[in-house]
Every structure is written in C-alpha cells, then in structure tokens.
Amino acid sequence: MKSDEYFMRAALAEAREALDQEEVPIGAVVVHEDRIIGRGYNQRERLSDPTAHAEMIAITAAASELQSWRLEHCTLYVTLEPCSMCAGGIVLARIPRLVFGALDAKAGACVSLYNIPTDPRLNHRVQVQPGVLGDESADLLREFFARQRALGKK
C-alpha cells in the first residue's frame, strides 16, 4: 500500500504543471484502491473559468472513471487547503478522506477559516489530514507569487 506522501508527490507534480503554465500552482489527485483515478491542476486562467480549481477537475475525472458521482471509497490529495467551493464539492462527492499540504489562511475551508468537511450539520463528513508535504506545497506557491510580483502582476 502506497503512503500519503507518495500520492501527495503526485499532487505536487500536478501543481508543477500549473506553475509551468503560469497558473497558481495547486495540484490534486483522487485515489481509489491505491490507484490514481483523477488528476487536476488549477486552470482558471487558461479556461477562463472560476471553478477550474485542481480539486474540481480531479473530482470530475474520478467520477468519470468510476462512472459514479459517489466517490465513497476514495481519498483526495491536494497541495493547498481547499476553498469553500472545493470543500463543498468534496462533501457532495461523498469523498471520505481529504489529505492536503499547506494551510490557506485566506481562503481555507477545511481547517483555517471554516470546517466544511467536518460540519456535523451536513449529511456527510470527511476525515481531514492537513500538513502532508506542506512545506513543499507552500514553497511552490511562494515561488509563483514571487515571480508574479517581479513581473508586477499580483
């Protein structure tokens, strides 16, 4: 059985693909029975789509692979703490486990600002494991934003 770090490295590879395409470097993979069945990286700029977050793309790919919207036996690995949209998508997809890297103090909806995946008022709760390869995930984000500032963009 492969480790959380193994799959987080796959999510980091997706984040590097986003970085190469000048997107915010966030990557995600969905794992089912020790196999990656969905991959995604941020593509908001390329697709001109505010919902084109890494998690949403990976979840859609995984649902297509399983031919079911219920991802009940899956784990989602993502390099940055999901936002409220993505946290909602995780709950709606019935994903039982979320593993993420860096905390997001400005938009994190799983630990930092909100706790959507564990909210007892919802009909599904998600086990959340933060901090797996969090430093590497944060380093990619710092690199991206440093480049953007140097170009006078963000």
89-146 pLDDT, tens per residue?
A: 999 999 999 999 999 999 999 999 999 999 999 999 999 999 999 999 999 999 999 9
Reported as half-sphere exposure (CB side, CA atoms, 13 A), residue 7 has a value of 25
Confidence of residue 154 (pLDDT cuts 50, 70, 90): low
Confidence of residue 3 (pLDDT cuts 50, 70, 90): very high
β-sheet with 35-41: strand ranges across = 35-41, 27-32, 74-80, 97-102, 127-129
Average pLDDT of the residues in 51-70: 98
Q: Which residues are catalytic?
A: 55
Q: Among all chains, which residue has been given the structure tokens 């009909």?
A: 123
Rounded to the nearest 5 degrees, what angle is found at the Cα of 139, between the Cα atoms of 136 and 140?
95
Q: What is the Rg, in whole angstroms, of the alpha carbon atoms belonging to the chain?
A: 14
By percentage, how much of the chain surpasses pLDDT 90?
A: 94
Element (H or E) spanning 39, and its range? Answer: strand 35-41
Specify the pLDDT at position 151: 86
Sign of the CA dihedral running 110, 114, 116, 117? positive
104 contacts 74 by C-beta, under 8 angstroms: no
Query: pLDDT digits over 7-29, tens only?
Result: 999 999 999 999 999 999 999 99
What pTM does this model have?
A: 0.96
Report the alpha-carbon distance of residue 4 to residue 21 in Å, rounded: 26
